[in-house]
Amino acid sequence: MSRAAEKTTVQLRQITHRTHGRRNGPAVRLMSPSDFGQILKPFVFLDFFDMQGPPFVGDLHPHSGIATLSYLIDGRMDLIDPDGTTVVLPSGGVEWMQAGKGMWHGGSVGDEDHGRVRGFQLWVALPPESELGPTRSAFQRAEDIVSAGPARVLLGSYGSVSSVIETPSPMNFLAVKLKAGERWTYVSPKGHTVLWVSPVEGGLLANGEKLHPEELVAFERSSQSVHFEALSDTQFILGSAVPHKHDLALGYYSVHTSPQALKIGEAHIQTIGKRLVEEGRLDRRDIR
């Protein structure tokens, strides 16, 4: 091998972990805080759902210490926000919910037409300065999401564009579509040494290695770029970030940076839950 070829090989960002996750009802759980979330934090949870049939109803449930992002590729979701308002998330849309100190939400996936519904739900661990902060939410329709080349910028900044959603720490979350034969290079922003990809469909190469639909692929901690090539029409999501330098203190629906913060968040969830019971919006048995 020539020195030039050896240098090129060394500069490629290597894949270190990959998984097809495990099925959990209508979804495939690709990442949890106790497994890949330890490697890819601040990204700590990722579900991919692909379903067709009667709507799947998710009861009201709590979170604290995290933000959730729901990205709908196809179909429809009806989301109940912390104020009890139902918001319809259409195909191609994004919902961002920053739980902070604690909130409850729920909703349903699909509609009575029984059309195909595909999408992702992502959890992001919040840093200490916002893990016990206020709840914030944001919604974006497909037509309002900015793009950089073939990449729709769901979170963060890439190229010359930025999402209107303010992230709690430096991170990008992109939805990318490539036609067969197209190539695209992801150049990591400064400090984004955390990087992962999950293909939705089609054939895709990343630095020459084949990736598969409904797979999560984690790359080594580095600042190198990743070169993608579409073997067929394909779409995938990509996340990159500055590493979350805190331990994960895990509750049932909560992720915090310390046991003390977790205790505060879970107590606040209980307080909200009791109020929801008094309002008739929640069954007392749903409070853990």
- Residue ranges of domains in the chain: 21-144, 145-242
Residue 199 and residue 187: Cα distance in Å, rounded?
18
CA-based nearest residue to 52, from 30, 69, 74: 74
pLDDT in tens, 43-53: 999 999 988 87
CA 4 to centroid of chain Cα atoms: 38
Q: Which of 120, 48, 107 is nearest to 81 (CA)?
A: 107
Which pLDDT value is given to residue 85? 73
Q: What percent of the chain has pLDDT over 70?
A: 91
CA-based torsion, 7, 232, 177, 70: positive or negative: negative
Of residues 109 and 198, the one with the higher pLDDT is: 198
In this prediction, residue 6 carries a pLDDT of: 40
pLDDT tens digits, one per residue of 182-203: 999 999 999 999 999 999 999 9
pLDDT at position 114:
63
Distance between CA atoms of 175 and 187, rounded to whole angstroms? 15
CATH topology (fold) of 21-144: Jelly Rolls (2.60.120)
Q: What is the C-alpha to C-alpha distance for residues 113 and 91, in angstroms, rounded to an integer?
A: 14
Would you say residue 5 has pLDDT above 90?
no
Tell me the three state secondary structure of residue 205.
strand
Pick the CATH number of 145-242 from 3.30.360.10, 3.40.50.11540, 3.60.15.10, 2.60.120.10: 2.60.120.10
| The one-letter amino acid at 140 | Q
145-242 has the same fold as 21-144:
yes
C-alpha span between 283 and 19 (Å, rounded): 37
Do the Cβ atoms of 229 and 204 come closer than 8 Å? Answer: yes
CA 15 and chain centroid, separation: 19
CA distances for 234 relative to 15, 184, 191, 204, 213, angstroms:
19, 12, 28, 7, 9
pLDDT of residue 270: 92
pLDDT averaged over every residue in the chain: 90
- CA distances (Å), origin 18, targets 42, 87, 196, 212, 232: 18, 34, 9, 10, 21
Looking at per-residue pLDDT, the higher value among 114 and 236 belongs to 236
Say how far apart CA 285 and CA 271 lie, in whole Å. 14
